[in-house]
Amino acid sequence: MGVTIHDVAREAGVSLKTVSRVVNNESQVSLETRIKVEQAIAKLGYQPNNIARSLRKSKTNTVGYIIPDISNQFFGLIGRTIERILRRKGYSLIISSTNNDPKNEIESLGLFASQKVDGIILATLGETKEFIKSYLHKFEIPIVAIDNKLSGLDLDLVLHDNHRGSYILARHLIEHGHQYIAFISGPLDQTSGELRFQGYRRALEESGIDYRESLVRIGDWQIKSGYDLVLDLLEDNVYFTSVFAANFYMALGCLRALKKRGLRVPKDVAIVSFDNLDFAEFVDPPLTTLRRVEHKIGVMATKLLLKRIEARDQNREPTEVLIPAKLSVRESCGCPRKTLLISKVYQDAPGHP
pLDDT, mean of residues 75-90: 95
pLDDT per residue over 240-294, tens digit each? 999 999 999 999 999 999 999 999 999 999 999 998 988 888 899 999 999 999 9
pLDDT per residue over 98-150, tens digit each? 999 988 998 899 889 888 899 999 999 887 878 888 888 778 899 999 988 88
Looking at this protein, which amino acid is placed at residue 38? E
Burial class, 338, CB count within 10 angstroms (exposed 0-12 / middle 13-18 / buried 19+): exposed
More confident residue, 24 or 213: 213
Reported pTM: 0.78
More confident residue, 352 or 22: 22
Beta bridge partners of 216: 183
pLDDT for 120 equals 96
More confident residue, 279 or 70: 70
Categorise residue 79: left if φ over 0, alpha if ψ from -120 to 50, beta otherwise.
alpha
Q: Which domains does the chain possess?
A: 1-46 (1.10.260.40), 165-290+326-347 (3.40.50.2300)
Q: Could you tell me the pLDDT band of residue 165, with boundaries at 50, 70 and 90? A: very high
CA-based Rg of the chain, rounded to a whole angstrom?
23
Q: Could you tell me the pLDDT band of residue 351, with boundaries at 50, 70 and 90? A: very low
Q: Among 15-29, 56-70, 167-181, 242-256, name the one with the lowest average pLDDT.
A: 15-29
Dihedral sign computed on CA atoms, order 200, 206, 212, 215: negative
pLDDT for 27 equals 63
| pLDDT above 50 for 54 | no
pLDDT for 142 equals 93
Burial class, 71, CB count within 10 angstroms (exposed 0-12 / middle 13-18 / buried 19+): exposed
pLDDT for 346 equals 41
Q: What are phi and psi of 214, to 5 degrees?
A: -65, -20
Q: Among 21-25, 205-209, 335-339, name the one with the lowest average pLDDT.
A: 335-339
More confident residue, 116 or 296: 296
